[in-house]
Structure 1
Amino acid sequence: MNPESTRAAIERVLADCGPVIVACSGGIDSLLLATIAHRRSPSTTVVAHTVTPAVPGEGTGRVVTHAERHGWTLELVRSNEFEDERYLANPTDRCYFCKTNLYAAIAPLRHADIARADAVIVSGANTDDLGEYRPGLDAAAEAGVRHPFVEAGVGKAGIRAVARHLGIVEADLPSSPCLASRLYTGTRVTEARLRSVEAGESVLRAEGFEIVRCRRRDAAAVVELPIGDRDRVTPALLD
């Protein structure tokens, strides 16, 4: 499909949903979904963003900027995953507990306004996500969340193509899962560890490294970069 037909397919799914609450992390997938939903029906679209130590500040900044620029109805919510021992223990299905808490925090927005009573929570999951281990999708299914990109048969490449077509500056933004994903399984999730990961990645991005992961295992840190970038790393950057 070309970008226009892809966009039309997404809009058909959104029309079938009726009023929507877009779970928007600040990545290109959910930013595009929020953009299309708002342009299609601003009065029945709410954008929800969770403020948590696991979400990079840059992601929150992007969501707030788009909301202010385009007039989105934005709700900032706080989820309770940091009060959930199952999440903090960082098991292999940590994502399930993260998303369970996320959707539980978003659900009350339906009752904040009578116009939202029948609103459907929608996410930016796409067809590329279906071939991976994504326990968060189980949490979404339990919460009745719909995935317009999946229903429209759209993957990451299609998302980027539509985003470019619509002039969204983040169209080529590298994928960046939540900061908790940087911790090795079994390494306890703490705010301090997530802050150190975010700070390390911010330093490297400021030096021109676009794709970077700083991973933590207890006191040890591992920096992951594309092979072509490794020769650019100096000892000073790792201090």
Structure 2
Amino acid sequence: MSVATELDRLRAAITRHPTLAIAVSGGVDSMVLTHVAHGSGASVTAIHAVSPAVPVSATERVKRHAARHNWTLRLLDAGEMNDPDYLANPVNRCFFCKTNLYSRIRSVTEAPIASGTNADDLGDYRPGLQAAEAHGVVHPFVEAGIGKDGIYALAAALGLSDLERLPAQPCLASRIETGIPVDADMLIFIDKAENALREILPDAEALRCRVTAGGIVAEISPLPDADRADRVARLADTLCHDAGRPFAGIRPYRRGSAFLHPKP
């Protein structure tokens, strides 16, 4: 499909709802969805959950775009940090995260809730989609048949230069190996460490500070040259030492490497 066709299909998926509450995380998917919805004629409220699991930069991005483009924005605490099922970090942690999020959104609005889930997400294990189904959440990108590449193309076509260059930004809890409990201090450390390492590797396609059973691992794609790898290792070791956490080295980025299935 051409970008124009995808945009028409997306607007049609949006405008069948006279009102819409969009769960906007600050990532490219939900941000582009909010931009398109805001200009579609529907009555749109962007709802952003402020949490230790959400990078500070994502929250600031949402606020900045909302102010610049006159969005109706509501910030809230989804409450997942008070949920022992979420904090235990099981394989289906995302189910509990999204259950808290959508329940909280539903408590403040009767409008249909929309997510930035895209067509490519349907091929992954996404327990959060089960929570979405239970809360009647709609997925305009899925309805329009738009995947990740299409979303980046829409960002470019809409002149959203910061979004068209924005790498994937899953929640910070996704860095923690399943089975290792989630806590706020750990999430804050991950955000701080990744921001610091990106100062050395601003062009990295992916950079994650994984919390593993063996310590903190810096996953990077592509792997840096020897000089920058040494700088990354020294900085990461210092950050981990200051936080009382062991540094376990650098390895190639692997999507979902913290997602461990329990042994049978």
1:236: how far off? 2.4
User: Aligned pair 1:203/2:199, yes or no?
Assistant: no
Aligned positions, number: 231
Equivalences for 1:68-79 in 2 at 5 Å? Answer: 68-79=67-78
The answer to whether the 8 Å contact 1:122/1:147 transfers is yes
User: Aligned pair 1:51/2:44, yes or no?
Assistant: no
Provide the residue aligned with 2:36 in structure 1: 36
Equivalences for 1:94-173 in 2 at 5 Å? Answer: 94-110=93-109, 117=110, 119-169=111-161, 170-173=163-166
* Structure 2 CA distance for aligned equivalents of residues 225 and 14 of structure 1: 36
TM-score with structure 1 setting the length: 0.93
User: Aligned pair 1:212/2:211, yes or no?
Assistant: no
* Structure 2 CA distance for aligned equivalents of residues 173 and 189 of structure 1: 26
The answer to whether the 8 Å contact 1:18/1:120 transfers is no
Higher relative contact order (CA 8 A, sep 6+): 1
* Structure 1 CA distance for aligned equivalents of residues 22 and 177 of structure 2: 29
1:182-226 per-position Cα deviation (integer Å, ceiling 9, x unaligned): 000100000011111111100011223432000113671011001
* Structure 2 CA distance for aligned equivalents of residues 91 and 175 of structure 1: 22
The answer to whether the 8 Å contact 1:20/1:45 transfers is yes
- RMSD, aligned α-carbons: 1.3
Provide the residue aligned with 2:2 in structure 1: 2
Provide the residue aligned with 1:66 in structure 2: 65
TM-score with structure 2 setting the length: 0.85
Give identity over the alignment, percent: 43
* Structure 2 CA distance for aligned equivalents of residues 122 and 230 of structure 1: 42
Provide the residue aligned with 1:113 in structure 2: none
Normalized per residue, the structure richer in helix is: 1
1:230: how far off? 5.5
1:172: how far off? 2.2
Moved >6 Å (runs of 4+): none
Structure 1 gap segments, 5+ residues each:
111-116
1:120: how far off? 0.8
Provide the residue aligned with 2:86 in structure 1: 87
User: Aligned pair 1:179/2:172, yes or no?
Assistant: yes
